Amino acid sequence: MKCRLARSTSRVRFVRGALTAVVAAVVVLATLVPNTGLPAPQAGILPPDSAARPFLEGRELVEKGRYAEAIPKLEKALETGHERPQESFGTSRHAVDYYDPHYWLGVAFMETGEESRALAHLRSSASGGSFPNRRETEDRTRRITELERREAARREPPPRESTPVPVPSPTPPPPLPTSGPVLPQPTPVATPPAGPTPVPIPGAPGPTLVPSPPPVRLADALTALAAGNFDECVALVRAERHRSPEARELDLVEASALGSRYVLEGRRDEALLSAARANLASFRRKGGAARAEATFISPTLRTLLEPR
């Protein structure tokens, strides 16, 4: 009896070991064969702390003016999947009073001269939501307006001054032959005037000649406007207006400079806004083209400069 039980126990252990080996082989084969009918697993959003810490470091670097060092920190925060602006973010370990990595990346790229990337991040920040009581929301609006204006100015080249075309001198007649018989020249016949010759009246004023206006010089003013030197741009425009007081292009450039300064610098000087509106109205009254207005005035700035 004892031998029979021993043999039975050994057989059971052998069968269990064989089944375990088969199951292990099936599992290994399942991992080696690709599941073509199932989608690949997606990485979920990481915990808030993984985004809060690099965001805080990047924001502090931007506030210190170390923009190049701040960019990889803020990009790391975005890689976690947390992109939308939030007033309260993170845990007690890494609490953030206002979380908006797209805005701070836009500021860093704008200050380092990468304006296209800056505009893309600032627009992503705006699409994620706005908080009117935050200073970041107001500053974001000013930066988007300025970047859109610079982008439009780059697309439209400045007007080129006309170059006078030289007039060719008349060709002298060929010389007369010095030898041979001299032929008689025809006698010129006087052509009678088409009508009676007007008799000048003593004391009457003569005809008034209207001089053509000089060409408008805008190259220096446009260069100052594109560089953000608004005061220099306005000074150049007003100096040129003494030469060409009726040039409507000067009104448009001055409206763009004053309006951009009012929005971007945040001075809230109503005199700047009133002067910009008056210049835009003068440009339109003089028959300014809508295409030129769209080049120098962004949609956001146009809304601000429309008369109330």
Within a domain: residue 98? yes
Q: Residue 170: what pLDDT?
A: 63
* Helical spans, DSSP H, in the chain: 2-32, 48-63, 67-79, 101-111, 115-128, 135-155, 219-226, 230-241, 248-265, 270-285, 290-296, 299-305
pTM of the model: 0.42
Q: Residue 44: what pLDDT?
A: 46
Q: Residue 26: what pLDDT?
A: 41
Residue 225's nearest CA partner among 237, 239, 217 is: 237
Within a domain: residue 53? yes
Q: Cα dihedral sign for 226, 228, 229, 235?
A: positive
Q: Residue 28: what pLDDT?
A: 40
How is residue 12 written in tokens? 């059971």
Looking at 100, 115, 131, the residue that finishes a domain is: 131
Looking at 89, 109, 131, the residue that finishes a domain is: 131
Ordered per-residue pLDDT tens for the chain, 308 residues = 444 544 455 555 655 665 565 445 444 444 443 433 333 333 447 787 788 889 999 999 999 999 999 999 999 989 988 888 988 787 666 778 888 999 999 999 999 999 999 999 999 999 888 888 888 888 999 999 999 999 888 887 666 666 666 666 666 656 655 544 545 555 655 565 555 555 555 565 655 555 566 677 878 888 888 888 888 888 988 888 888 888 888 888 888 888 888 887 765 678 887 888 888 888 888 888 888 888 888 887 788 788 76
How is residue 307 written in tokens? 């008369």
What is the domain extent for residue 234?
219-305
Q: How many domains does the chain have?
A: 2
Q: Residue 108: what pLDDT?
A: 95
Mapped onto helix, strand or coil, the DSSP state of residue 304 is helix
Looking at 66, 100, 131, the residue that finishes a domain is: 131
Q: Residue 195: what pLDDT?
A: 55
How is residue 118 written in tokens? 């800056």
Q: Residue 244: what pLDDT?
A: 82
